[in-house]
Amino acid sequence: MTDNASSSGSHFIQAIIEADLKAHKNDGRVATRFPPEPNGYLHIGHAKSICLNFGMAETYHGTCNLRFDDTNPTKEDVEYVDAIMEDVHWLGFDWDTRLYYASDYFERLYEFAVELIRAGKAYVDDLSADEIRNHRGTLTEPGKDSPWRNRTIEENLDLFQRMRAGEFDDGTHVLRAKIDMAHPNLIMRDPTLYRIRKTRHHRTGDVWCIYPMYDFTHCLSDSLEGITHSLCTLEFENNRPLYDWVLDNVTAPCHPQQIEFARLNLNYTVLSKRKLIQLVAEGHVSGWDDPRMPTICGLRRRGFTPESIRNFCDRIGLAKRDSVVDMALLEYSIREDLNLRAPRVMGVLKPLKVVIENYPEDQTEELEAINNPEDPGAGVRQLPFSRELYIERDDFMENPPKKFFRLAPGREVRLRYAYFITCREAIKDPDSGEVVELRCTYDPATRGGDAPDGRKVKATLHWVSAPHAVDAEVRLYDRLFNKANPDEKAEGKTYKDFLNPKALEILTGCKLEPCLAGVGPGYFCQFERMGYFCVDAKDSKPGGLVFNRTVTLRDAWAKLQKKGA
Ligand code: ATP
Ligand code: MG
């Protein structure tokens, strides 16, 4: 039964499900759901919930529904609905025919509310939202009953029907559960079940002007769909008694079990839709799919693969206690995946011209290069070599410090798959003093990158033949925030004060290997020594290639932290 259980071993939710299966609870069925509210795009935290819900269904041969929890018409939009479906599919999960909307249950939910009223367990309250809050009491003090709490059933039925008919304005009436204003759990102090919102809904239009609250909707939607295990994040732990109360007090078809798990928190980013919406709306990023964003569409555009995200979710495991996961783990997951799959090519991001003085002007030769050392099946390709090349500007120093082993005047290095070259002279711009060209010589005996006399060099550089190079723009990304916990309270500051100004660096005039001339969206590769890259799906055009750096080859932040920077 658990043949394809997660690689990180069995977790507490699996233990619960397995015990239920053993006891033949729910007729041996496992039914889960992923219930996003369509008020924003999905982020990596949602991926954890998606992998869990769809994963449990897969592992135990059950089903997982996709249900839009669309009960708040003021914040929701079809744009989000479409994006959420695309993202779940992209992650590799499918709800088959099980696509549901809480708004499809509005009529049924209304009937359940009427059932509560008839049983004397719900009442219409005329207090304002502020008054209700003031009546609620505190953790140490009981709340106060509303003066409207003891209306007759007939009066409540009449008022609730008139709320639905649109007779009252927003905020003038609510329907509340009649539980206990002195309950130790504040959530149980006569929670609001319905409110008036004269707002058009993206699916039901103007049919409804009263909308059910989350706590009333969620448990009943679960029940109507025959969900067995309703998995949610820890902040709903206090809501569980209400989840159970509602189901126990109406004739619900079944009583799913709510189980809470710790949400994903990730450092150097924020995972709250409210904040992500702000970043988009205020233009701190270019959109929901900005590659700096922790959204699924942002990660996709950045070059993350669905496999890497699923592996990440598997690796972080599932706990009952909140913790913060290191961004380095997400980066590790994509590196690990791309290491196996990404073809290696050479791309010079900050080019410096090199002229090989002893190489014939009109000559070009083809040198063989390995496409992926991790994948022998990926084969080899031919690289053109000529008298004029580009190397990385950072690979040359005129006055190198002790530990700099790359190119410098008089020094010999290897050009990957090509020859040993020696720097003879650095040509400078007479005005700025900047090095603009290197004059070098090559040793024809070192073709392929080895010296027959056994002499060694200390560095191997990547390069691109100048006349053959393909031009591109390359966008280097880094972490969105430069503080591990941007949400941490800091005097007079908000998370937005910790946005990392270096999270995006745009390089133009980059020089790439000619084999990249025809690539388009969907293409990804490793630029040797520079990281993993992908073609930007939005801005790249034929003749105007744009690459995004997905991730560097090594964890540069770990090094910085060691240095104490
Ligand atoms: P946010 O806090 O970003 O606004 P939300 O909880 O309001 O998220 P929903 O659309 O209601 O967003 O979430 C859908 C499902 O995803 C819920 O079951 C929720 O518990 C889960 N979820 C949301 N954020 C995380 C997270 N960081 N880690 C794990 N699961 C999450
Ligand atoms: Mg929510």
d(C-alpha 511, C-alpha 547), whole Å = 12
> Is-catalytic flag, 240?
no
CA atoms within 13 A on the CB side of 307: 8
Question: Phi/psi zone of residue 360: left (φ > 0), alpha (ψ -120 to 50 degrees), beta?
Answer: beta
Please report the domains of the chain, with CATH numbers, ordered by start residue: 12-261 (3.40.50.620), 273-341+476-510+517-563 (1.10.1160.10), 345-468 (2.40.240.10)
Give me ligand 2 centre to Cα 201, in Å: 18
Give me ligand 2 centre to Cα 101, in Å: 15
Residue-by-residue DSSP string for 389-417: EEEEGGGB-SS--TT--SB-TT-EEEETT
Give me ligand 1 centre to Cα 134, in Å: 29
Give me ligand 1 centre to Cα 99, in Å: 18
Long-range contacts from 50-55, C-beta under 8 angstroms, 24+ separation: 50/88, 50/91, 50/93, 51/91, 51/93, 51/310, 51/313, 51/314, 52/13, 52/231, 52/261, 52/313, 52/318, 53/231, 54/88, 54/93, 55/6
Pocket (CB within 6 angstroms of ligand 1): 35-37, 45-46, 48-49, 232-233, 263-264, 271-273
d(C-alpha 312, C-alpha 323), whole Å = 15
> Is-catalytic flag, 473?
no
Given the residues 18, 25, 29, 37, the one annotated as active site = 37
Structure token pair of residue 475: 């966008």
Substitution candidate for ligand 1 out of 75, 215, 233 with most atoms within 8 A of CB: 233
H-run or E-run covering 344: strand 344-345
d(C-alpha 27, C-alpha 228), whole Å = 10
d(C-alpha 28, C-alpha 14), whole Å = 14
3-state secondary structure 421-443: EEEEEEEECCCCCCEEEEEEEEC
- List per-residue pLDDT tens for the chain, 565 residues long: 333 334 456 899 999 999 999 999 999 999 999 999 999 999 999 999 999 999 999 999 999 999 999 999 999 899 999 999 999 999 999 999 999 999 999 999 999 999 999 999 999 999 999 999 999 999 999 999 999 999 999 999 999 999 999 999 999 999 999 999 999 999 999 999 999 999 999 999 999 999 999 999 999 999 999 999 999 999 999 999 999 999 999 999 999 999 999 999 999 999 999 999 999 999 999 999 999 999 999 999 999 999 999 999 999 999 999 999 999 999 999 999 999 999 999 999 999 999 999 999 999 999 999 999 999 999 999 999 999 999 999 999 999 999 999 999 999 999 999 999 999 999 999 999 999 999 999 999 999 999 999 999 999 999 999 999 999 999 999 999 999 999 998 889 999 999 999 999 999 999 999 999 999 999 999 999 999 999 999 999 999 999 999 999 987 666 555 555 4
Longest dimension (CA), the chain: 102
- pTM recorded for the entire structure: 0.94
Judged by DSSP in three states, 480 sits in coil
Per the DSSP assignment, residues forming a β-bridge with 33 are 65
Structure token pair of residue 334: 């994509």
Given the residues 203, 273, 300, 387, the one annotated as active site = 273
> Is-catalytic flag, 37?
yes
Contact status, residue 127 vs residue 146, Cβ threshold 8 Å: yes
Strands 460-461 and 412-415: parallel
- For the chain, the helix, strand and coil percentages under 3-state DSSP, each to the nearest 5: 30, 25, 45
Contact status, residue 510 vs residue 464, Cβ threshold 8 Å: no
Q: Give the residue among 175, 204, 165 at the shortest CA–CA distance from 114.
A: 175
Ligand found nearest the CA of 39: 1
